[in-house]
A = this chain, B = another copy of it.
Amino acid sequence: MLNFTVGPVQAGQEVLEIGAQQVPYFRTPEFSRVMLENEALVLKFAQAPQGARAVFLTGSGTAAMEAAVMNVFTGADKVLLVNGGGFGQRFHELLGIHEIPFEEIKLAHGKALTAQDLAPYENQGFTAFLVNIHETSTGVHYDGNLIADFCRRNGLLLVVDAISSFLADNCPMEDWGVDVMITGSQKALACPPGISVLMLSQAAQKRIEASRVKSMYFNLKDALKNGERGQTPFTPAVGTLLQIHARLKALEASGGREAETVRVAELARDFRSRLKNLPLDICSESLSNAVTPLATRHCSAYDIFTALKDEYGIWVCPNGGDTKDRIFRVGHIGALTVKDNETLVHALEELAHRGLLK
């Protein structure tokens, strides 16, 4: 199968080789060294500020989203949330569950965030800003500089879900003044799912230190303390952490974050340039390099997903909910090539010729 979803994505050879091996015991100086290197490299690729730390949590991206909300915010906060799709809505629900006061900027499907959207919220007593920088469910990538300026002007703590954007788009943690940045193993890190990562500025660490979080598993203070010696409070997904290590080292050896972002951007550009003769419309005002959301015109998008899977051995990413029959998404992260783009576009053209894609 050829995998154009937004995760799990295709892994490189160095990651698969580790998957084929026995998982080692981990309460050892050897594994601690791996974890300390993981932390240093992931912070380097996040362009994190001095004194930043990273926590590797065994869980999906939502685990890290919930851990961030629980450890970094309190009932004394007033959070401004951008809610432009399924993952913005997830933060909406998390803030509700944990009783964090918030207001939200609700954006219609596919819409970018503009200065006009932000204007009414200037000097309104907010303490923090929460955003999925790439709303993966719709394929809209928000303007990080616009958000960074707003946060600086208003003195806000900035929490960014960059789960599908990290390494695919430029997300400079220090330049943007990001305090918490989240990613996951199965996106551009191109490893199996199971690990989520929280990168934390000193201000975020200070909040975590003061937090009285009502959870053992999501206690980030405990995770940070264990992390000082390259360990975790509980048995982590050791195999996936070793795969992340191999991937980070391979990235480092081949030009680092910059080269990877350029590579993904070029794959996305190439794919989008091939769509001219297809009855498909890009339905995002502001694209991430990670994914191209495509609306069908006169057929079910979910049927195209199924036909590609069953007849062509290709996975694209189906949408859920309201847009299931209207939109599917094509990912550009993981071990994909221009040749893979050609294969997918060829299959789409054939579906169009057959009258199925219309």
Contacts and interface: CB of A to CB of B under 8 A. Distances in A.
Grouping DSSP codes into helix (H, G, I), strand (E, B) and loop, the A interface class, with mixed when no group exceeds half, is loop
B20 A235 contact: no
Copies of this chain in the oligomer: 2
A3, A8, A24, A66 interface centre (most CB from chain B within 10 Å): A8
A62 B237 contact: no
Interface residues of A, number: 54
Contact of A8 (B233, B238, B318): B238
Given A98-B214, A192-B238, A217-B66, A24 B11 contact: no
Interface of A: 1, 3, 5, 7-8, 10-11, 16-17, 19-28, 58-63, 66, 90, 93-94, 97-98, 184, 186, 192-194, 214-218, 233-240, 309, 315, 317-318, 320
Contacts of A26: 8
Contact of A194 (B24, B66, B98, B194): B194
A85 to B, nearest CB: 16
A15 B11 CA distance: 18
A84 B58 CA distance: 27
Contacts of A320: 27
A192 B97 contact: no
A320 B229 CA distance: 15
Given A25-B3, A25-B5, A240 B192 contact: yes
